[in-house]
Amino acid sequence: MKKTALITGATSGIGEACARKFAAGGYDLILTGRNSRRLAALKTELEHGGTEVVGLCFDVRDAKAAQEAIATLTGRWATPDVLINNAGLALGLEKEYEGSMDDWNTMIDTNIKGLLTMTRLVVPGMVERGAGHVINIGSVAGDAAYAGGNVYCATKAAVKTITDGLRIDVAETPIRVTNVKPGLVETNFSRVRFHGDNERADKVYQGIQPLSGDDIADVAFYAASAPPHVQIAEVLVLATHQASGSVVYRSQH
């Protein structure tokens, strides 16, 4: 029987790349996202390639909607082999004392509470079955704060400690827990952060070849494909000319 992977935030960026990578790797998929049109299009595309796909349209910030969606999964879909907590975002780059409270709440509710909700809904089934793998998409931003990153960095620091805590909690089981921490990845991330300001978003990636969503999907798939006795606990993935969350060498050419 084919393995299944549940991927949140699957309609763009790293989540979409993970969907394609795991489908190519022989997994059937449970994909979640807020954009019903893009979710349906991705489902149709992957199914044409021979992958069975269940699409669940909801916002991970809505715990009730998440619970109702997961409750619809039955049979082999009820407990996926892999949970990829990918849904997340950054909003704004203001100083902490000038930041938007709405932006803060959205980041906290998505990056922390949404991840916790999905973990709480899926991992008990893995524990009961005695098999499973949780892959959380963190960030280099969780290692140290950078200018303007304040609350976003805090949410990704929380992802690290929540991931570490879960790994401790399931140490007596065969379940594996991984934190993948990307650096600069060129997706829709910066456009979301700057509320649709494409010019400002494009400047984030000028003078450097950033990572792609596919690069991060490769790492997640590698972690999931390691032998059962191997747990890839944490991976920091940076572009070659990025040294940390705040140190980036940019070519002037």
CATH number of the domain within which 216 lies: 3.40.50.720
Is 246 contained in some domain? Answer: no
pLDDT one-digit tens code per residue, 14-34: 999 999 999 999 999 999 999
% of the chain with per-residue pLDDT over 90: 94
Tell me what percent of the chain is helix, strand and coil, each rounded to the nearest 5.
45, 15, 40
Would the pLDDT of 169 be above 90? yes
In this prediction, residues 173-197 reach a mean pLDDT of 94
The pLDDT of residue 253: 64
Determine what percent of the chain is predicted with pLDDT higher than 70: 100
In the chain, how many domains are there? Answer: 1
Residue 253 forms part of a structural domain: no
Tokens 């990918």 label which residue? Answer: 86
Residue 244 lies in a domain: no
pLDDT of amino acid 128: 98
Rounded to an integer, what distance in angstroms lies between the CA atom of residue 96 and that of residue 101? 10
CA dihedral for 22, 23, 27, 30, sign (positive or negative): positive
Domain annotation covers residue 243: no
Assigned token pair, 207: 């003078």
Whether the predicted pLDDT of 130 surpasses 70? yes
The mean pLDDT of 166-174, rounded to a whole number, is 98
- 152 is annotated as an active-site residue: yes
Which residue range is the domain that position 89 belongs to? 4-237
| pLDDT number for residue 52 | 98
The answer to whether the predicted template modeling score (pTM) of the entire model surpasses 0.85 is yes
Q: Which residue pairs from 54-58 have beta carbons closer than 8 angstroms and sit at least 24 positions apart in sequence?
A: 54/29, 54/30, 55/31, 56/30, 56/31, 56/32, 57/32, 57/33, 58/32, 58/34
Specify the pLDDT at position 158: 98
Q: Of residues 27, 97, 146, 152, which has the active-site annotation?
A: 152
Q: What are phi and psi of 7, to 5 degrees?
A: -120, 120
Q: Indicate the pLDDT class of residue 252, thresholds 50, 70 and 90.
A: confident
pLDDT digits (tens, 9 = 90+) for 37-86: 999 999 999 999 999 999 999 999 999 999 999 999 999 999 999 999 99
Specify whether the CB–CB gap between 36 and 56 falls below 8 A: no
Average pLDDT on 102-125 reads: 98
Residue 248 lies in a domain: no
3-state secondary structure of 180: strand
Q: Is there a domain that residue 62 lies in?
A: yes
What is the pLDDT at residue 1?
84
Q: Please report, in angstroms and rounded to a whole number, the separation of the first and last CA atoms in the chain.
A: 52
Token pair listed for 234: 């944490």
80, 56 Cβ separation under 8 angstroms: no
Long-range contacts of 63-71 (CB under 8 A, 24+ apart): 63/113, 63/117, 66/114, 66/117, 66/118, 66/121, 67/117, 67/121, 69/32, 70/121, 70/122
In a domain, 249, yes or no: no
What distances in angstroms separate CA 232 from CA 17, 180, 206, one per listed residue? 20, 9, 32
Res 215: pLDDT: 98
| 247 domain residue, yes or no | no
